[in-house]
Structure 1
């Protein structure tokens, strides 16, 4: 009997420990399971697609939350968000006050990253960064400068043996924020472009062939000798495409980079504080790259699924606070701390 009593007494702490362990375990597991079941869907900007994919992958490792993003172009992202078929939209051009009136529910928009657009080209045997002035670039896309050995291009690049080859302009065929930034720049530096073509997500191009997405323009430029187009810098670097040094507002020829994009966005801080949707093309500054822009996200202020909305807020808070370092690794331009704070204030408006 005494042996049995001792055995029972010895066994009791083990039983209690097991019961306590079993009792505590489900709480933690339930929380993990809950997070892992959350699936957030977004669509839009092809400009930001490589970075959004990396953000999504890193965040899933940390939290189990899945962020699925479709690279369909800014115009498509805005439309799908407006229709309520996705949880968030991404666009390289902020929704204007006029366009905002067409939405049936309130939303917030704020920058999550900035980036530079590279003017890429395919000239066999030429790997140098050609120099292009704003007026020459405009006339190429107007179809006025038709040959790569045109005297105006040759004068800017005396050390390059330019070929007697037709210039093939490649532009976007879909509604595109990348196109908006590019045509906003051309309209800013040329009254002729502004009057004849203008700025927009879609424009009537005077010349050239169309392609869908940054991916499509990159592919066409790679395939067509003599081609010239515009893509986000990451696409140019990943595909080993040559790109031009563009003369900026200070008269300097600058290449797209994190450094020159940062110079442009910092020069725009004052105007951004007045209106977060402000353009940042052709900013002043010796080192400012002139074809720079932000990527904005659109989020519901009256979400149907508040639990999912809460997880989405956590994701974009992580993007703004921790994801900017990743942006720099992929040739994007991390937001200045002042812009991060502006975006966090907007994010706080989401319930």
Structure 2
């Protein structure tokens, strides 16, 4: 399958609405019952509760958390009997809880590996891994007087490997002619927990930085820097530290009004982080059958370079078919009516052809009898 811009009809809003309250918190959040709005109608998920409340729990990636919370909130307005809580603990913890079967669904920004798939108990069937949206990772920074920072590949490589130690380094000065760069030490902020955002970021670093030795994945041995938990924690650490720079998902930096650097892509262009530019990185991409798409260093000349899909993890044979059925209906709603909220918050909605394939995969889940 080809990831098509035309099919997606990317329509990005000129202004984004505020993210849900508590973006800086890592605790699980549960939607509350709210009367349906006048212009919406309840989906079949409401009837699956048979008059009672269906409480669904998930855990995992922090990058899509703002969107997920918004989706849960809006969906609950039209389906008051369906309440979905989500613990924003990072992809590593989310995958573990999914494999341990302590949640109804997991979430990850790093597609499952073969050895992880093999750990799922046989009675749960095959792992069902489906994308929910596209997202992108930015270099956010805290540097007085510098509002339009540019980072060439050699420069951001030097920041993450520790060879660039101060903001007035000659490489940074060359990238930013005319900018008044201070002698302030560079403080690189990275994730301390197992993180799909780290996986996205380090897979790009591995491609872009010839001297990178730490590899790529949800956890790496960082040669330099300060760790923080979750996109929430990295964002807060950057806010609190003069001279800090780190990687976080775009919506976190945007909502917290952090400055974001323009990043040089493979073609040599400096690209300002924006949903439109991020979407170009996915244009024409071939989606594998398990949806585990990777675009660590996109070729497109106008593409922002640090982009990925993000996935939810479901059970082919769920313990509770009623919960699975209700969550499946929520997912179908998110792929259609939920696209407007993805756009508003700065995520990349899935195109129609990919949404159709996701729906087909979700329909393989057995919801007629307890397994």
The alignment's TM-score, normalised by the length of structure 2, stands at 0.83
Change (3 A) 1:36 1:59: farther
| Structure 2 residue 76 is the aligned partner of structure 1 residue 56 | no
| Structure 2 residue 50 is the aligned partner of structure 1 residue 34 | yes
The 5-angstrom pairing of residues 175-324 of structure 1 reads 175-193=194-212, 196-268=213-285, 270=286, 272-273=287-288, 276-324=291-339
Is there any run of 5+ residues in structure 2 with no aligned partner, and where? 1-45, 367-371
Give the equivalent residue in structure 2 for 1:22.
none
RMSD: 1.5
Give a deviation string over 1:148-185, Cα, whole Å, max 9, x none.
11111110110211111100010000000000000010
Is there any run of 5+ residues in structure 1 with no aligned partner, and where? 1-29
1:123 to 133, 143, 146: 143
| Matched-pair contact (CA < 8 Å) for 1:36–1:63 | no
Change (3 A) 1:32 1:190: closer
Give the equivalent residue in structure 2 for 1:26.
none
Which runs of structure 1 show a deviation greater than 4 angstroms over 4 or more consecutive aligned residues?
30-33
Number of corresponding residues: 317
Give the equivalent residue in structure 1 for 2:340.
325
Change (3 A) 1:36 1:323: farther
Structure with the greater alpha carbon radius of gyration: 1
The 5-angstrom pairing of residues 155-194 of structure 1 reads 155-193=174-212
| Matched-pair contact (CA < 8 Å) for 2:134–2:347 | yes
Q: Distance in 2 between matches of 1:81 and 1:92?
A: 14
Change (3 A) 1:167 1:45: same
Question: In the TM superposition, what is the alpha-carbon distance from 1:286 to its structure 2 partner?
Answer: 2.0
Which structure carries more helix by proportion? 1
Give a deviation string over 1:105-130, Cα, whole Å, max 9, x none.
322001100111110111022222x1
- Per the alignment, in what secondary structure is the counterpart of residue 184 of structure 1? helix
- Per the alignment, in what secondary structure is the counterpart of residue 191 of structure 1? coil
The alignment's TM-score, normalised by the length of structure 1, stands at 0.87
Change (3 A) 1:35 1:325: farther
Question: Larger relative contact order (C-alpha < 8 A, sep ≥ 6)?
Answer: 2
Question: In the TM superposition, what is the alpha-carbon distance from 1:344 to its structure 2 partner?
Answer: 1.7
Question: In the TM superposition, what is the alpha-carbon distance from 1:341 to its structure 2 partner?
Answer: 2.3
2:127 to 71, 86, 107: 107
